[in-house]
């Protein structure tokens, strides 16, 4: 399939590079592609960024049949445009599609679409340290039909947003509220899928945590309210007595690309890494025994987000005196070094957009 390109005749004024924030500004173009039963995926096109017109009856508005992804393009000091393990995101995209009854996309073609779009909007990739171009592919169900049934038609869209450095003011560990009432996912549900419904269902707990003065929610499993799942929209790691522990992939947590990279990187540094069930009780006991050394979340946006405090049923646990730990810092420096093409990529994770 050939991607047709229609360039904008009215390029936008670029936003102030020092006030980018996250997901507020969008580039001049977007990628669109349609799906219907007769033609499959068809008419891939790069067009000027604009509103899209849909019937109010579209399935996505009523039953949330949709998926999304999140990844970044990075400008290296020598001017190359880099992606970080993009095929992992595309593979996950199809796993989400499968769960949500959305048709599969061709992985190679999807990578080509992402690269082509970025090439058209290349001058939107921020060059300053720590800044990047966030890539948001998503698919929505467009059937104008109120019956509860997988849609017969879909729209695949990719939009791009220049984003600021996540830690513009240095890495400050965040305070985490361990949620014991609301749950995010259960086995057999959609916890492993990157889909909007999971987020809609998480907002209430996030709001509650914020009201209590916490930045993020730590989710416990939906059945026992005991085993740790994730933190906010990040995977989670605890360094206990020299062992780096992260919950195993059992269907309720999102298989993060950053999570997988942290596991591989830590192992290459000689750290013992375990993917296993970890109960909040074990974390509390480790803290009381002075063995809880570090804790952090992992995800594309922040890369590594250290946790400085956990509130467990009103009890406050301070981790590493509220400061970023040595391993967290080393993982952050190495991962971001690879992503921005500043250090040697021994894993073959960087993919150049050429
Ligand atoms: C996207 C996401 C993550 C992190 O995944 P990365 O691929 O590392 O960005 C973790 N948890 C949830 C719920 C997510 O949506």
Q: Could you tell which of 66, 216, 230, 254 is best to mutate to test the pocket of ligand 1, judged by most ligand atoms within 8 Å of the CB?
A: 254
Q: Is the pLDDT of residue 318 over 80?
A: yes
67 ligand 1 Cβ < 6 A: no
Chain segment 202-218, per-residue pLDDT in tens:
999 999 999 999 999 99
Summary mean pLDDT of the chain: 96
Ligand 1 lined by 70 (C-beta under 6 Å) = yes
Pick the atom of ligand 1 nearest to 260's CA.
8
Q: What pLDDT score was predicted for residue 169?
A: 76
Asked if residue 82 has its Cβ within 6 Å of ligand 1, the reply is no
Residue range 109-167, pLDDT digits in tens: 999 999 999 999 999 999 998 999 999 999 999 999 999 999 999 999 999 999 998 88
Under 8 Å between Cβ of 97 and 67? yes
- Atom 6 of ligand 1, residue of closest alpha carbon: 256
Query: Which of 138, 166, 235, 260 to probe ligand 1 with, by most ligand atoms within 8 A of CB?
Result: 235
Place of tokens 């026992």: 224
Tell me the pLDDT tens digit for each residue of 79-104.
999 999 999 999 999 999 999 999 99
69 lines ligand 1 (CB under 6 A): no
On the question of pLDDT at 219 being above 80, the answer is yes
What's the mean pLDDT in 228-238?
96
Query: What angle do the packed helices 326-339 and 257-268 form, to 10 degrees?
Result: 110
236 lines ligand 1 (CB under 6 A): no
In this prediction, residue 129 carries a pLDDT of 86
CA distances from 191 to 114, 137, 149, 236, 284 (A): 25, 19, 21, 14, 25
Residue 310: is its pLDDT beyond 90? yes
| 351 CA to centre of ligand 1 in angstroms | 20
15-47 as b/e: b if 16+ CB within 10 A: beeeebeeeebbbbbbbbbbbeeeeebeebbbe
What is the model's pLDDT at position 166? 87
The Å distance, Cα 343 to ligand 1 centre, comes to: 24
Using a 10 angstrom Cβ sphere, with 0-12 exposed, 13-18 middle and 19 or more buried, the burial of residue 13 is: exposed
- Split at pLDDT 50, 70, 90, the class of 170 is confident
How many Cβ atoms from other residues are within 10 Å of residue 104's Cβ?
12
Residue with CA closest to ligand 1 atom 3: 234
Name the band, by pLDDT with cuts 50, 70 and 90, for residue 270: very high
Cβ–ligand 1 contact at 66 (below 6 Å): no
Give residue 305's pLDDT: 96
């Amino acid at each position: 399939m050939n991607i047709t390109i229609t360039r904008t005749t009215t390029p936008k004024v670029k936003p102030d590079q020092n006030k980018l924030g996250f997901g507020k500004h969008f580039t001049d173009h977007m990628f669109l592609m349609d799906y219907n039963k007769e033609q499959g995926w068809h008419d891939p096109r790069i067009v000027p960024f604009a509103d899209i017109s849909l019937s109010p009856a579209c399935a996505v508005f009523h039953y949330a049949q949709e998926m999304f992804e999140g990844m970044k393009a990075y400008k290296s000091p020598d001017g190359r445009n880099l992606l970080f393990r993009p095929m992992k995101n595309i593979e996950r995209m199809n796993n989400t599609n499968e769960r949500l009854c959305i048709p599969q996309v061709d992985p190679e073609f999807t990578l080509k679409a992402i690269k082509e779009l970025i090439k058209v909007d290349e001058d939107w990739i921020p060059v300053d340290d720590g800044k990047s171009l966030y890539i948001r592919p998503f698919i929505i169900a467009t059937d104008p039909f109120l019956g509860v049934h997988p849609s017969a038609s879909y729209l695949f869209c990719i939009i791009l947003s220049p984003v600021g450095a996540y830690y513009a003011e240095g890495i400050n560990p965040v305070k985490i509220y361990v949620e014991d009432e609301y749950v995010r996912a259960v086995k057999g549900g959609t916890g492993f899928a990157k889909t909007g419904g999971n987020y809609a269902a998480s907002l209430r707990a996030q709001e509650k945590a914020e009201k209590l003065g916490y930045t993020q929610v730590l989710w416990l499993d939906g059945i026992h309210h005991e085993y740790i799942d994730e933190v906010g929209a990040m995977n989670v790691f605890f360094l206990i007595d020299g062992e780096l522990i992260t919950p195993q992939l059992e269907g309720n947590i999102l298989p993060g690309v950053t999570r997988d990279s942290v596991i591989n990187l830590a192992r290459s540094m000689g750290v013992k890494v375990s993917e296993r069930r970890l109960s909040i009780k074990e974390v509390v006991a480790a803290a009381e025994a002075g063995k809880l050394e570090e804790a952090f979340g992992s995800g594309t946006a922040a890369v590594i987000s250290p946790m400085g405090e956990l509130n467990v049923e009103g009890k406050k646990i301070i981790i590493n005196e509220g400061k970023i730990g040595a391993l967290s810092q080393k993982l952050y420096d190495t991962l971001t070094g690879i992503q921005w093409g500043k250090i040697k990529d021994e894993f073959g994770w960087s993919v150049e957009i050429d």
